[in-house]
Structure 1
Amino acid sequence: MQWIGELKDKKTIRADLIAGITVALVLVPQSMAYAQLAGLPVYYGLYASFLPPMIAALFGSSRQLATGPVAVVSLMTAAALEPLATSPDTYLAYAMLLALMVGIFQMFLGLFKLGVLVDFLSHPVVVGFTNAGALIIATSQLGKVFGVFAERAEHHYETVWNTLLAAAEGTHAPTLLMALIAFGIMWGVKRFYPAMPGVLIAVVVTTVLAWTTGFADAGGKVVGTIPDGLPSFSIPTFEVTTIWSLIPAAITISLIGFMEAISIAKAMAARTRQRLNANQELIGQGLSNVFSGMFSGYPVSGSFSRSAVNINAGAITGFSSIVTGVVVMITLIFLTPLLYHLPQATLAAVIIMAVINLIKIDPIIHAWKAQPHDAVVSVVTFVLTLAFAPHLDKGIIIGVLLSLGLFLWRTMRPRFAQLSRYKDGTMRDIRVRKLQTSPQISVVRFDGSLYFASAGYFETKMLGVVAANPDLKYIILDGEGINQIDATGEEVLHHLWERLQAQGITLVVARMKKQFMDTIRRTGLKDKMGDEIFYSRIGLALNYVWDQLGDSYDRDNCPLRSPLASNRA
């Protein structure tokens, strides 16, 4: 709450007032659209936009993060509740319960400083899920755009197909026209007048058109009566079995929602040079969800689009979010009758326009260039999320497991290289640079941690070097790339050293890191191997080896000798 003291400056208050009102003009229609996406009455979106932005601003770490209903969380809410709820009343109660569970889980992570768990959601998984989620969200609104109804099938793609068949049989022309007008207004404003609130203009224009043309009387669906007044405090009633059923969805929404929020917050913090505390942000997001659940709301998160509007409108402190909440409060108390004729087709158009920007192919292509495995994870997550929809958590879980599995596979087979001197004096891979090496001395490098999954591979490669060099007397292990060693790695190193000793080959170790040396000191392996075989540089290790080989060895013509300077220097 450090920013509260900055409100003594009138310029700060004025900037936050303007930003807060600007965000509210976007939030009011967006929140109603997202509530519709979540399967809730539209005014529940307004309930989730009243207190949560204020609470997140007061207890979070980011000053410009705009919290409230967002598309992906709304979709995941609908996916979690539809299989469980047996009536509209239970659906509403479960939505509130889900918000409470999400908030409690996020607060738990924040209070115990477990925000690092979010790191298990790798960027490729999030990219794949976000792209699939955007397609699912957009296609879920086709029925409202065409003015048709189709039975929900077991899989989302079947529901989409049923919707398209229903649209082919009989599209409701006034509904489609209203949606096209909304699309045209939002696209035109964004294209030619980007500073103006296109969503609000589309809502106002189509609402007036629906009122003046009798859209509802012609069979068009409108928002209808919205209860005026603020949401009351209430705790939903539920059975214990319901909590168990919602736990997977609550955890998934907590992590996905927070990852979206923290990524936005980090981008803005870099721009404004603020200090951002991820665990404190978890507490702020968690409290905002708890308050949303206690005041007839549903799960919320930080919004990318509204946060961008907030910071671009000049927001300086969290007071802008307080202003946004106050404007929503005024809307709930005084302005709800004006929303009666708002077409649901307009809200569907708002949702589709909002999620189009989430569909991005470039990050997948970039991931392929960086690491093909990551691109595979992204594509698999995308395909499985689409295939399993509306069970969105399955796609994410499989994506996370696949990314962890591929990471483990890569670390099981790290790069192993036999080294020799390059013309610039550095040690390079003999296969890559086509270098000569000494038949009696071999320098090798292992570019990975020596742990249970890679220890066997390390031993195999070392013994392969021995088999390929029958005159070998010394192996120098360049350990710069070995960051960690566990019990299995230490055991393998111990047995390898003994096996080499039995064959008359001495293992010399160079450039080992502190954590490696601490481990072998604790186990006593360093004392067994002897202090004389550990060196801080490869050059020092080579000096030791040459001294052991004696004057009979022509060190001046050794391929491992540096051409630039004496290794003894």
Structure 2
Amino acid sequence: MASPKFADRVKRFLGIDPEDTFDDSSFYDDGSYIESEPSTKDFVRGLLPTSTGVINYLKELFPFVNWIFHYNLTWLLGDIIAGVTVGFVVVPQGMAYALLANLTPEYGLYTSFVGFFLYWAFATSKDITIGTVAVMSTIVGNIVERVQKEHPDMSADVIARSLALISGAVLLFLGLIRAGFIVEFIPLVSIGAFMTGSAISIAAGQVPGLLGIKGVNTREATYKVIINTLKSLPKTRLDAAMGLTALFGLYFYRWFCNYMGRRYPSRAKTWFFISTLRMAFIVILYIFVSWLVNRKVENASDAKFKILGTVPSGFQHTGAPGINKEVLSALGPDIPTTILVLVIEHIAISKSFGRVNNYIINPSQELVAIGFTNLFGPFLGGYPATGSFSRTAIKSKAGVRTPLAGVFTAVIVLLALYVLTSVFFFIPSSGLCALIIHAVGDLITPPREVYKYWKTSPIECVIFFAGVFVSIFTNIENGIYVTVAASGAVLLFRMAKSPGRFLGRVEVHYATRESIRGAGPLSDAAESEKAHLTFIPLDRSDLSNPQVDIKTPYPGVFIYRFGEGLNYVNCARHLDNLTIYVFKHTRRTQLNKYEKVGDRPWNDPGPRRGKVINNEEIAARPTLRAIILDFSAVNFLDVTAAQALIDLRDQFNRYTAPDRVEWHFAGVQNRWTKRALVASGFGYEARGASSEERDAAGPLVAVAEAVVTPSTAEDEKAQSQEKTEVDIEAAAASRSASSGGSSREARYVPLYGINRPYFHVDVETALASVVRNLERKGTASAGEDS
């Protein structure tokens, strides 16, 4: 480490004053509390991993260690029931969703098996189910179709599996570096618009298959699919009888179970489990009907209506996907969309069910889970998988206890792969279309939620509809980008236009609502001994009662509260508003500062030639004495904002010359914000003043009661008695009486460092300090450096 003298030489060589360290500790050598700003070493130390941090990081990577050793039979029973219940749903859904991805049905089963089998080891959510989902499958299908137009020799399974492998690697990397915070940049309205637009697009694309209509390109924009479907209604085939009745059966089945559950509350759970089996029941029923009609058919193309056809048994597509330079180049533009959809669906669903079931997920660890699943899945034939809303809801309501339930679902999928594939031959394709339409219907945001968006934030409601319309009239991917970009733009706009308020003081008393409604005067009900000062906007933007008299803080003193932080985006707006308001309500300290008319600046020309200054009007205004900035909403101060404060301070000092404006800061909580203010010359007295001069004219320091042992109190009593204007003996006696004669002694100590006296715990303390300073100076023109 370099010696202090060497460091001073380096500073001088770089043009930095070695004395400019902002360290006032030499003035306070009496044992008082001294604040020290964080150093660069502290910053670097905070970035370096510690042994404890490394151990915690490894524990977070495998969260099952925290609960697996507590596993019991009750948990096992709940997991088996939930896992098997979801298994009956995921088998038909997986095959149906694989068709959306332009793949054969078995790929849906491969993807579902891998997701359920692997997720539990990395999960921080007991409810989420990873596997095939309608939205992701549709996007994969669109990507497959686009890539094959440019590369006809590239098979669909290679495209889909490669897409999963690449996106899984990226997500795993983001999870390992704990970058889960990026999901917070995706707002709820974006998720809602994405889900709603996707559900409408998917449902519209399944209607031609539901009716047996051929020749409709379901990969076009949704509005075109709807128009072309309506034009092709005369081409409806026998498939419509299977599809429409299946769709009606699904909705009637669910309605009937819900009705019976409400009518017989004691058996509500039984009816819930019956309801969850509706997809499996309908599929089995229509397999039987299809078999009766097509039992003599050996080739699926000869069936009287379209059927699923041959589904190979077992894992027939294992091994590494054939990734090469050509595949990477073809999939490059689609990787961001894939990752965004995987993250949106999974994190949104897991966080939602975590709040419902009273636990917290770790977004970074969830990225690890879906990353590892998609990285390993392609080796068994899987394509991109993420969390499913419908299956997660079923799993949660089924009483799942731990993430291990996914293993039991994986067993059901495995049995289906090896035992039931011959039965799948007769599944009507229109029945699978009905199943998809029924499943995505739950993804549409209900009107009551949209109305809540409107009541909460109308602009975000507009963004919601914009995302839905863009998804319908272009594609799902564009809908995602529009909502995320629009929400980001609104956020930046709010930051840039964040409101700041000038505050006034009001003396507040406490009273009950009953006393306010009574006939007697409020003064009879108010508890005057509990009265305190509060500070509210002078413009009454907080909807305060207009009958209340809001008083200015003090002549020439202004309190300004930042609404949403102070940074390079909004500092100019805030400080310009501050300047305009202050100039409007104050006057210069020297009214006739300029001897000649030509000496005046262009923006302060004074009276017209031959006119005189209206001294009575201007003299009625106070001079600017102090500025109090409420930093309770400011967590960080960047270089631009700090420089803007310096420029404003210099401007106000020229305005009040020869006096100087006092700058006080309330509610500064962040150490680095305080360091930035100190480095900008705020928070401490001017250099050159003696300790006595500082104490005589310095601001008030907030003190709080501290309890120490008698020996410590005796050692520090003499030093603290001179500097603290508090009756220590009375405080100690009061403390002793309240504690029943305890052996400990109480005294008052500074809450924050006394070397930073212009930083205050709250606005009330800051104002009290300003008033004390001004009154002790005697007149507003008594210029002392702040």
TM-score (norm 2): 0.66
2:466 to 373, 377, 380: 380
Answer yes or no: is 1:163 the counterpart of 2:264: no
| Alignment correspondent of 1:404 | 488
Judged with a 3 Å threshold, the aligned counterparts in structure 2 of structure 1 residues 452 and 271 are, in CA distance, closer, same or farther, namely closer
| Alignment correspondent of 1:451 | 567
Deviation at 1:122, TM superposition (A): 1.3
Deviation at 1:49, TM superposition (A): 1.7
Contact 2:354/2:361 (8 A) holds in 1:
yes
Cα distance in 2 between the residues matched to 1:443 and 1:14: 63
After superposition, the C-alpha distances for 1:476-507 in whole angstroms (9 at most, x for unaligned) are 32332323211000000001001101111614
Cα distance in 2 between the residues matched to 1:369 and 1:398: 22
2:208 to 140, 143, 163: 143
Instruction: Kindly provide the amino acid, as one letter, of the partner of residue 193 in structure 2.
Output: G
Deviation at 1:275, TM superposition (A): 5.9
Q: Secondary structure at the match of 1:298?
A: coil
Moved more, 181-190 or 153-162: 153-162
Instruction: Kindly provide the amino acid, as one letter, of the partner of residue 247 in structure 2.
Output: F
Deviation at 1:136, TM superposition (A): 0.4
After superposition, the C-alpha distances for 1:97-156 in whole angstroms (9 at most, x for unaligned) are 111122112111111111111222111111111110010010010110111123437533
Instruction: Kindly provide the amino acid, as one letter, of the partner of residue 377 in structure 1.
Output: I
Deviation at 1:533, TM superposition (A): 4.3
After superposition, the C-alpha distances for 1:525-562 in whole angstroms (9 at most, x for unaligned) are 4458785644333334334443454489999xxxxxxx
Judged with a 3 Å threshold, the aligned counterparts in structure 2 of structure 1 residues 124 and 248 are, in CA distance, closer, same or farther, namely farther
Answer yes or no: is 1:78 the counterpart of 2:141: yes
| Alignment correspondent of 2:762 | 537
Contact 2:94/2:112 (8 A) holds in 1:
yes
Judged with a 3 Å threshold, the aligned counterparts in structure 2 of structure 1 residues 102 and 82 are, in CA distance, closer, same or farther, namely same
Cα distance in 1 between the residues matched to 2:774 and 2:68: 74
Cα distance in 1 between the residues matched to 2:662 and 2:572: 17
Moved more, 486-495 or 465-474: 465-474
| Alignment correspondent of 1:565 | none
Instruction: Kindly provide the amino acid, as one letter, of the partner of residue 370 in structure 2.
Output: Q
Q: Secondary structure at the match of 2:558?
A: strand
Greater share of residues in helix: 1
Deviation at 1:75, TM superposition (A): 1.5
Judged with a 3 Å threshold, the aligned counterparts in structure 2 of structure 1 residues 268 and 128 are, in CA distance, closer, same or farther, namely closer
Judged with a 3 Å threshold, the aligned counterparts in structure 2 of structure 1 residues 181 and 514 are, in CA distance, closer, same or farther, namely same
Aligned length: 550
Deviation at 1:68, TM superposition (A): 1.0
Cα distance in 1 between the residues matched to 2:87 and 2:153: 28
| Alignment correspondent of 2:394 | 309
| Alignment correspondent of 2:100 | 37
Contact 2:668/2:759 (8 A) holds in 1:
no
Answer yes or no: is 1:188 the counterpart of 2:266: no
| Alignment correspondent of 2:29 | none
Cα distance in 2 between the residues matched to 1:345 and 1:400: 35
Contact 2:311/2:422 (8 A) holds in 1:
yes
Answer yes or no: is 1:111 the counterpart of 2:202: no
| Alignment correspondent of 2:664 | 509
Cα distance in 2 between the residues matched to 1:429 and 1:140: 55
Q: How does 1:226-245 map to 2 (within 5 A)?
A: 226-245=311-330
Deviation at 1:191, TM superposition (A): 1.3
Q: How does 1:76-475 map to 2 (within 5 A)?
A: 76-86=139-149, 87=152, 90-152=155-217, 155-167=221-233, 169-172=234-237, 174-193=238-257, 194-196=272-274, 197-214=277-294, 217=302, 219-270=304-355, 276-360=361-445, 361-389=447-475, 392-424=476-508, 425-432=533-540, 433=544, 435-437=550-552, 439-470=555-586, 471=621, 472-474=623-625, 475=627
Judged with a 3 Å threshold, the aligned counterparts in structure 2 of structure 1 residues 466 and 71 are, in CA distance, closer, same or farther, namely same
Instruction: Kindly provide the amino acid, as one letter, of the partner of residue 651 in structure 2.
Output: R
| Alignment correspondent of 1:560 | none
Contact 1:185/1:201 (8 A) holds in 2:
no
Cα distance in 2 between the residues matched to 1:44 and 1:369: 44
Judged with a 3 Å threshold, the aligned counterparts in structure 2 of structure 1 residues 398 and 151 are, in CA distance, closer, same or farther, namely same
Gapped regions of structure 1 (runs ≥ 5): 556-569
Q: Secondary structure at the match of 2:402?
A: coil
Judged with a 3 Å threshold, the aligned counterparts in structure 2 of structure 1 residues 232 and 213 are, in CA distance, closer, same or farther, namely closer
1:478 to 630, 635, 652: 630
Cα distance in 1 between the residues matched to 2:773 and 2:507: 26
Instruction: Kindly provide the amino acid, as one letter, of the partner of residue 130 in structure 1.
Output: M
Deviation at 1:304, TM superposition (A): 1.9
Deviation at 1:226, TM superposition (A): 1.0
Contact 1:477/1:507 (8 A) holds in 2:
no
Cα distance in 2 between the residues matched to 1:219 and 1:296: 31
Consecutive aligned runs of 4 or more in structure 1 exceeding 6 Å deviation: 551-555
Identity of aligned residues (%): 27
Contact 1:60/1:285 (8 A) holds in 2:
no
Moved more, 95-104 or 417-426: 417-426
Judged with a 3 Å threshold, the aligned counterparts in structure 2 of structure 1 residues 40 and 164 are, in CA distance, closer, same or farther, namely farther
TM-score (norm 1): 0.90
After superposition, the C-alpha distances for 1:414-461 in whole angstroms (9 at most, x for unaligned) are 222122122423111112156343553322222222211111101211
Instruction: Kindly provide the amino acid, as one letter, of the partner of residue 374 in structure 1.
Output: E
Instruction: Kindly provide the amino acid, as one letter, of the partner of residue 226 in structure 2.
Output: V
Instruction: Kindly provide the amino acid, as one letter, of the partner of residue 133 in structure 1.
Output: S
Cα distance in 2 between the residues matched to 1:81 and 1:138: 20
Contact 2:664/2:683 (8 A) holds in 1:
no
Contact 1:508/1:541 (8 A) holds in 2:
no
Judged with a 3 Å threshold, the aligned counterparts in structure 2 of structure 1 residues 31 and 370 are, in CA distance, closer, same or farther, namely same
Moved more, 424-433 or 178-187: 424-433
Instruction: Kindly provide the amino acid, as one letter, of the partner of residue 508 in structure 1.
Output: W
Cα distance in 2 between the residues matched to 1:534 and 1:450: 17
Cα distance in 1 between the residues matched to 2:322 and 2:440: 33
Cα distance in 2 between the residues matched to 1:199 and 1:43: 18
Q: Secondary structure at the match of 1:428?
A: strand
Contact 1:249/1:393 (8 A) holds in 2:
no
Deviation at 1:359, TM superposition (A): 0.8
Judged with a 3 Å threshold, the aligned counterparts in structure 2 of structure 1 residues 28 and 418 are, in CA distance, closer, same or farther, namely same
Judged with a 3 Å threshold, the aligned counterparts in structure 2 of structure 1 residues 528 and 91 are, in CA distance, closer, same or farther, namely farther
Deviation at 1:164, TM superposition (A): 2.1
Instruction: Kindly provide the amino acid, as one letter, of the partner of residue 185 in structure 1.
Output: G
Contact 1:480/1:512 (8 A) holds in 2:
yes
Judged with a 3 Å threshold, the aligned counterparts in structure 2 of structure 1 residues 332 and 547 are, in CA distance, closer, same or farther, namely closer
Q: Secondary structure at the match of 2:338?
A: helix
Judged with a 3 Å threshold, the aligned counterparts in structure 2 of structure 1 residues 219 and 15 are, in CA distance, closer, same or farther, namely same
Cα distance in 2 between the residues matched to 1:242 and 1:334: 35
Cα distance in 1 between the residues matched to 2:685 and 2:214: 77
Instruction: Kindly provide the amino acid, as one letter, of the partner of residue 18 in structure 1.
Output: I
Judged with a 3 Å threshold, the aligned counterparts in structure 2 of structure 1 residues 441 and 12 are, in CA distance, closer, same or farther, namely closer
Q: Secondary structure at the match of 1:484?
A: coil
Judged with a 3 Å threshold, the aligned counterparts in structure 2 of structure 1 residues 469 and 314 are, in CA distance, closer, same or farther, namely closer
